[in-house]
Structures are given as structure tokens and as C-alpha cells.
Amino acid sequence: MQNLVSKKEEEERRLKALAEYRILGTKPECSYCREVKNKEGDWMHLEKYLSKISDIRFSHGVCDNCMEKHFPDVIEVWNKKDFFEDGQKRFLES
């Protein structure tokens, strides 16, 4: 029974967060750093804001375009034919 109550409460919380997000409509967003204004008027990182009003959680990585732009030397090494095979052999031998 407790599990059903917890699930219902969680669902209600999610619906409330979604409704709040929809009501807010367009949010002011900085075109440089991508921070948004919360309802108190404070600037917050977009990921932090969305995590605060919903159950969205973020993990970070590097997309292909940014990898090429910011880490071209890594791409060059990765593109070498035997890079991963050599690394795997060295790992297994250690």
C-alpha cells in the first residue's frame, strides 16, 4: 500500500512540475552562457533549473562536433587503425 502511495505522490509531483514548466512558457535565456531566469528572477544554469523543477537529470559528455573542434589531436589518435587494439593488448598484458 505504501508503495502505491509513494508512486501516486511521485506522479503528482511530476505532473505539477510539468504544468509549472508549461505555464511558464517562454523563459528568458542568456544567449552567451545559456542560463535561464527562474521564477524568483535569479539566473541559473539550464540543467540546474530543469533538474530543480522536474526529475530530469543530466550527465555530461562531448558531442562529435565539439570533439572535433576542441580535441582534434584525440580524433587523430582515435583514427589510427591499431589504436584501440594496441591499448587493449597493453591493458591485458599489465
Domain boundaries, the chain: 1-60, 61-94
Determine the 3-state secondary structure of 29 from DSSP.
Answer: strand
CA distance linking residue 38 with residue 42, whole number of Å? 6
d(CA 61, CA 40): 30
Phi-psi region of 41 (alpha: psi -120 to 50; beta: other; left: phi over 0): left
For range 39-54, the mean pLDDT: 88
For residue range 59-70, list pLDDT tens digits in order: 888 888 898 899
Does the pTM surpass 0.75? The reply is no
